[in-house]
Amino acid sequence: MAIPLPWWLTVAAALFAIGLYGVLSRRNAIGVLLGIELMLNAANINLVAFWRHITPQALTGQVFAIFVIGIAAAEAAAGLAIIISAYRRRRTVVVDELDTMRW
């Protein structure tokens, strides 16, 4: 029958950890963006899993997930735009080298 809730949560936690690792360790800004996407989707898995196992009669979990997907798309668009703009100016997308604001 259905896969029990802890399994979902384990997968989601693993995905989140992978995403976080990517965000913290990648030097390429696009990689950082990819990590963020992973973390958002980990959260989506949790939302859908909790909906399915705890409040199947209400649609809030699903609706919330759809919102997150939409916002993630927007975020990716904005993030990529910033990266392209930074690349045009600085000829690099390595986050360590974008240090204008540093003391």
Partner 1 sequence: MEFIFNLTPLIPLFPLLAFATIVLLTHRHNRLSSSIAIGGIALSTAFGWTLVLATILGGEHAWVEGWQLRVPWLPAGTTVLELGFAVDGFTAAMLFMVPFVCLMIFIYSQGYMKLGQPDQDPRYARFFAYISLFAAGMLGLVVARDLVLLFISWEVMGLCSYLLIGFWSFRRADSEHHIDAAQVVRARQAALKAFITTRIGDVLLFSGIALLYSYTGTLTFRELFRPETLETLQAISLLGMPAVTVIALLVFGGAVGKSAQFPLHVWLPDAMEGPTPVSALIHAATMVAAGVYLVARTLPLFIAGFAVADAPALHWVAVIGAITALLGATIGLAQDDIKRVLAYSTISQLGYMMMGLGLGSLVAGIFHLLTHAFFKALLFLGAGSVIHGVEHGYHAATHGDHAHTEHFSPNDMKMMGGLRHRMPRTFVAYLAGALALVGIVPFAGFWSKDEILAEAFHLWRADGALNLPFWVWLAGTLGAFFTALYMGRQLGLVFWGEPRHAAARHAHESPSSMTVPLLILALFALLFGFVNAPFLGSPLHHFMGDVHEASEVVHAEAIPFNVTVAGISTVLAVAGLLLGWGLYRNYRVGQVEPFRMILGPVFTLLRNKYYIDEFYRWAIIRPVVWLSEFCFNIDDRWIIDPFVDLVGAAGRAASDVARVVDSVVIDRWFVEGTAQLFNAAGRWLRYSETGYVQNYLLVVAVTILLLLGLYLYF
List residues near partner 1 by CB under 8 A. 20, 23-25, 32, 95-96, 99, 101-103
- Nearer to partner 1 by C-beta: 1 or 24? 24
Pick 23 or 52: Cβ nearer partner 1: 23
- Please state the closest distance from residue 103 (CB atom) to partner 1, in A: 5
Of 62 and 87, which has the nearer Cβ to partner 1?
87
Q: How far apart are CA 32 and CA 44, in angstroms?
A: 19
Phi and psi, residue 27, nearest 5°: -95, -25
Residue 94 in 3-state DSSP? strand
CA distance 88 to 37: 24
